[in-house]
Structure 1
Amino acid sequence: MVSTFQHEAAVDRLRASYAALGPDQPVRLAKPTTNLFRPRQHVSVPGLDVSGLTGVISVDPDASTADVQGMCTYEDLVAATLPHGLMPYVVPQLRTITLGGAVSGLGIESTSFRSGLPHESVVETDIFTGGGEVVTTRPGDDLFDTFPNSYGSLGYATRLRIRLEKVPAYVAVRHLRFEDQEQLAAAIADIVATRSHDGSLVDGLDGVAFEPGESYLTLATWTDEPGPTSDYTGAQIYYRSLQQRSTDRLTIHDYLWRWDTDWFWCSRAFGAQHPVLRRLWPRRWRRSDVYMRLLGLDRRFDIADRLDRRAGRPERERVIQDVEIPVERLAEFLAWFDAEVGMRPVWLCPLVATRAWPTYPLDPGRVYVNVGFWGTVHVGPEAADAPRNRAIEDIVHGLGGHKSLYSEAFYDRATFDALYDGPGLARVKKQYDPDDRLTGLYDKAVGRR
């Protein structure tokens, strides 16, 4: 735990690092890890010192709340709450996602169909603004309500108070197979509406579409009933278990991090799923941040593109996106995606926003399905123009959906402002960042600054 004194000292160091920057120098965080996939312009200016803002300040089991520093990872947050039989309402899939990052960006997981997105369980936030001040905000304040999906353009969270939910020791899991994507969408809508299936309560809901005729929904039910559990940090690989078994059982800890060990299915790109290499790959390195560093090396040295050129393969376009699609249009989107992009598997995660948030305006109470797809497509010389990504933006917009901004975006300014409340964001930014020290959201997401 971090004491109040330590937290205040860390905020003072943050202020000092901000004051040390020249008025024309860009303001960025000095962080050792990232879960963003947006390429950025390289700058040599030192980042803001957030090294002391990485812990949990307190957990209140009676109130079911926690005070958490903004750069605390969910891995450390969960480690502090689970001993009390508590967890955050929504725990994003990757261990090194930070609480502040999930709130100022977006996070999602299998509890989102009943608990919304991570920012919806925040009750108070201290935000270090572009004006160099720490402002305490609460629901209903302009800065608080505009902060989600602002990605640092309004400031950085230094402390957040979040609600926690009680959880037992285990999770019972059922995997339901669907061959028809319309039936899949209908089942999602029914489970979200009733929070049950075949008379059993559903506490977590997500799924995977492997092929047009093979999709699975995973229904998780919290349980205290003891029994044997599966371990997917060893030789077995979690996403393959959806096809191999209809029921499963995990500890609550392993359920929360079931996707992290193999970065969903993306670890196969590094050979980490090959049986021989997996035995040699240290268990402590089977995690998403290690794969992210390997991906960074690939980008730095252009390894995959060099191999493609040597083999005579067409140029690749990176198609790494998460999009929110209304459940009634899900089958239509998946059919389009199969025909125009052809990348599988894709992750499916239903969500329902509990209230309106201006910078990511999902309709409250409406069922959306997050569709996540992460890979590359051989498209040839036009790869640099990102034709698949631009087409995805068009279809998502046309279907009444929204796209997360953690990865590349290609919208023109007018469309971007219409989708992400550009005028409202600019108004709040002007109030709390009067000298325009922080990079604006459009310049971050599309201009790659």
Structure 2
Amino acid sequence: MQGWTKHERAVEALRASWHAIPDGAPVRLAKTTSNLFRPRTAHDAPGLDVSGLDGVIAIDPVARTADVQGMCTYERLVDETLAHGLMPTVVPQLRTITLGGAVTGLGIESTSLRLGLPHEAVLEMDVLTGSGEIVTAAPDNEHAELFAAFPNSYGSLGYAVRLRISLEEAPRQVRLRHVRFDGGAEAAKAIAHIAESGTWDGIAVDAVDGTAFSPDEVYLTLAHFADSDLPTSDYTGQDIYYRSIQRRREDVLTIADYLWRWDTDWFWCSGAFGAQNPRVRRVWPRRWRRSDVYHRLIGLDAKVGLSRVLDRVKGVPGRERVIQDIEVPLDRLDEFLAWFDREIGMRPVWLCPLRTRRAWPTYPLTPGEVYVNVGFWGTVVVPADAEPGTVNRRVEAEVHRLGGHKSLYSEAFYDRATFDSLYDTAGLDRLRDRYDPGARLTTLYDKAVRNS
């Protein structure tokens, strides 16, 4: 009961902080860290005290469920569930993503083809609404509409205080096969086969993601969960995981190392800080080789402007940050990759197939249809007089043309009409009338596009 008692005290502090926010002031979280990649307007008004909502309340090993506070990171959640031989159905790649963040902002990983997205493991959740009320939303109760619209709402409908999620049995090890294909079309055919059969070459595929190094060098990493006791690789030291994909046909990782395989080097983005240089890596403390450290370094550079100074020295006219995750239907993957190579030219890119189990109105993917998430994170050189967001707008237009969607954790440039059609803002407005009649919460469009 200790976990529940602590949770109740944290909820009391949350309620008190809500009442301390002046009438008419926007209701926001009082937190300084974030995994978002879009600018946010600073506000002087106090925020919600969520400092006590960062833990696991209880785990039921028999029912395979966990009650988790909204600000609990997946790193902490995984540590506690693995102690019971269990793990969340989908564990996003980065350690400091919170469960509440993954549900209200979407998350994805290599089990998403088999098990959907993180919010599809939610059985019920307590949501603090804009009116200051905490309601329990479930798929089949009086708050079912709120439950369905909450994924991809990014705090515009409220904040998750507690979530009850289903868990699955965790293996001791994960056996990997890195299978090369000569382009996106071949990889898409393989994904379709795996989606249909759940196997590749007669071996079960429990998880799958991909890495496209060039137009004709695409790998699918096929994971098989096993309770084996084989020698394992370690990519938290000098070796770098993404480079092993090209060098090894097979590999074995512990389940913990598999879940965080991308975090140590932030996929491949740690190279921008020199962390992949062997000489630098030897002196870079292992505890600082993680995504949240790199994220803070980017924030520091934004303040001091070192990269801008270096660009001026190199004669680079201008740069645009292109950090996006998009989903396109599987049969349009090759078309998108060809366009991306021709128009953007950024490599590697991450591929993660997924399919949802039911309709979620704020991110309307067709249930049962296979999509592929394409993740690309970096900068591209642009003319000095380029309009801000020029490259990102082209990406948005192409994804829209192909019948896809894009996540809103990074910058968005949609016009209002297009945004409304893609993210069901009419439905969100109807729910806001019910749960936030005083308009204390910022709308999704204002958050995602206006950065307010």
Tell me if TM exceeds 0.5: yes
Q: Which residue of 2 aligns with 1:85?
A: 85
Indicate the residue corresponding to 1:127 in structure 2: 127
1:4 CA displacement? 1.1
Which residue of 410, 428, 432 corresponds with 1:429?
432
Shift of 1:368: 0.2
Report if the CA contact (8 A) 1:320-1:375 is conserved. Answer: yes
Alpha carbons 1:2, 1:58 under 8 Å: kept: no
What is the aligned-residue RMSD (CA, Å)? 1.0
Provide the rounded CA distance (Å) in 1 between the counterparts of 2:12 and 2:386.
46
2:322 aligned with 1:299, yes or no? no
Partner of 1:258: 261
C-alpha contact 1:325 1:399 (8 A) present in aligned 2: yes
Is the contact made by 2:188 and 2:330 (CA closer than 8 Å) also made in structure 1? Answer: yes
Aligned counterpart in structure 2 of residue 334 of structure 1, from 333, 337, 361: 337
Find 1:369's aligned residue among 369, 372, 384.
372
In the alignment, what sits opposite 1:46?
Answer: 46
Q: Does the CA-based 8 Å contact 1:325-1:396 persist in structure 2?
A: yes
- Establish whether residue 196 from structure 1 lines up as the match of residue 199 from structure 2: yes
What is the Cα deviation at residue 310 of structure 1? 2.7
Aligned to 2:183: 180
SS of match in other structure, 2:294 = helix
The partner residue of 1:380 within 383, 388, 402 is 383
Instruction: State the shift of 1:32 in Å.
Output: 3.8
Output the CA distance in 1 between the equivalents of 2:323 and 2:115: 25
| Pair 1:403-2:406 in alignment | yes
SS at 1:143's partner residue? helix
- 2:215: which partner in 1? 212
Q: Secondary structure at the match of 1:43?
A: coil
Provide the residue aligned with 2:318 in structure 1. Answer: 315
1:103·1:147 contact (CA, 8 Å) conserved in 2? yes
Q: Distance in 2 between matches of 1:256 and 1:438?
A: 34
State which of 137, 143, 146 in structure 1 corresponds to 2:146: 143
For the Cα contact (< 8 Å) 2:4–2:58, is it kept in 1? no
Using the TM superposition, give the Cα deviation of residue 12 of structure 1 relative to its aligned residue in structure 2, in angstroms. Answer: 1.0
8 Å contact from structure 1 (residues 54, 72) kept in 2: yes
Q: Are 1:2 and 1:56, in contact at CA under 8 Å, matched by a contact in 2?
A: no
Shift of 1:65: 0.3
1:84 counterpart SS class = coil
Shift of 1:384: 4.2
Which residue identity does 1:95 align to in structure 2?
R
Any runs of at least 4 consecutive aligned residues in structure 1 with deviations exceeding 6 A, and if so which?
A: none
Instruction: Provide, for residues 331-382 of structure 1, a one-character-per-residue CA deviation record: whole Å limited to 9, x for no partner.
Output: 0000000010000000000000110000000000000000000000001224
Distance 1:47 1:284 in 2: 30
Distance 1:308 1:221, change over 3 A: same
**What is the aligned partner in structure 2 of residue 418 from structure 1?**
421
Find out whether 1:234 has 2:237 as its counterpart.
yes
The answer to whether the 8 A contact 2:411-2:448 is kept is yes
The TM-score normalised by the length of structure 1 is 0.99
Distance change (3 Å), C-alpha of 1:448 and 1:35: same
Measure the CA separation in 1 of the matches of 2:261 and 2:46.
35
Q: Secondary structure at the match of 2:8?
A: helix
Is 1:277 the equivalent of 2:277? Answer: no
Contact residue 2 and residue 55 of structure 1 kept, 8 A: no
What is the CA–CA distance in structure 1 between the aligned matches of 2:409 and 2:98, rounded to whole Å? 13
**SS of equivalent residue, structure 2 residue 83:** helix
> Which range is displaced more, 34-43 or 249-258?
34-43
For 2:30, the equivalent position in structure 1 comes to 30
For residue 302 of structure 1, report the CA deviation from its aligned partner.
Answer: 2.0
Aligned position for 1:19: 19
What amino acid sits opposite 1:50 in the alignment? V
Measure the CA separation in 2 of the matches of 1:157 and 1:137: 10
Q: Greater shift after overlay, 98-107 or 381-390?
A: 381-390
- CA distance in 1 between partners of 2:104 and 2:359 (Å): 15
Q: In structure 1, how many angstroms separate the alpha carbons of the residues matched to 2:84 and 2:349?
A: 34
Change (3 A) 1:382 1:334: farther
- Code of the residue aligned with 1:79 in structure 2: it is D
Equivalent residues of 1:92, 1:107 under 8 A apart: yes
* Residue 26 of structure 1, CA deviation: 2.3
Distance apart, 1:225 and its partner CA: 1.3
The TM-score with structure 2 as length reference comes to 0.98
How far the C-alpha of 1:189 sits from its partner, in A, is: 1.1
Q: Which stretch shows the higher mean deviation, 36-45 or 258-267?
A: 36-45
Secondary structure at the aligned position of 1:162 is classed as: strand
In 2, the alpha carbon distance for the partners of 1:23 and 1:316 equals: 41
CA deviation after TM superposition for structure 1 residue 220, in Å: 0.2
Matched, 1:325 2:328: yes
Give the conservation status (yes or no) of the 8 Å contact 1:86–1:167. Answer: yes
- Structure 2: segments with no counterpart, 5+ residues: none
Deviations 1:316-339 (A, max 9, x none): 000000000101000000000001
Q: Which residue of 2 aligns with 1:103?
A: 103
The alpha carbon displacement at 1:218 in A equals: 0.1
In the alignment, the residues of structure 1 paired with residue 314 and residue 220 of structure 2 have an alpha-carbon distance, to the nearest angstrom, of: 38
Deviation of 1:2 (Å)? 5.8
> Residues 316 and 383 of structure 1 are in contact (CA less than 8 Å); yes or no, is this contact kept in structure 2?
no
Measured in 2, the distance between the counterparts of 1:403 and 1:2 equals 41
Question: Deviation string for 1:186-211 (max 9, x for gaps)?
Answer: 11111111110000000010010001
The alpha-carbon distance between structure 1 residues 2 and 117, as it changes in their structure 2 partners (threshold 3 A), is: farther
Describe the SS at the equivalent of 1:68: strand
1:59 matched to 2:44? The reply is: no
Is contact 2:238–2:278 with CA below 8 Å preserved after alignment?
yes
User: In 2, Cα distance between the equivalents of 1:382 and 1:369?
Assistant: 34
Cα 1:382–1:404, aligned 2, differ >3 Å: closer, same or farther?
farther
1:383 Cα deviation from its structure 2 partner: 4.1
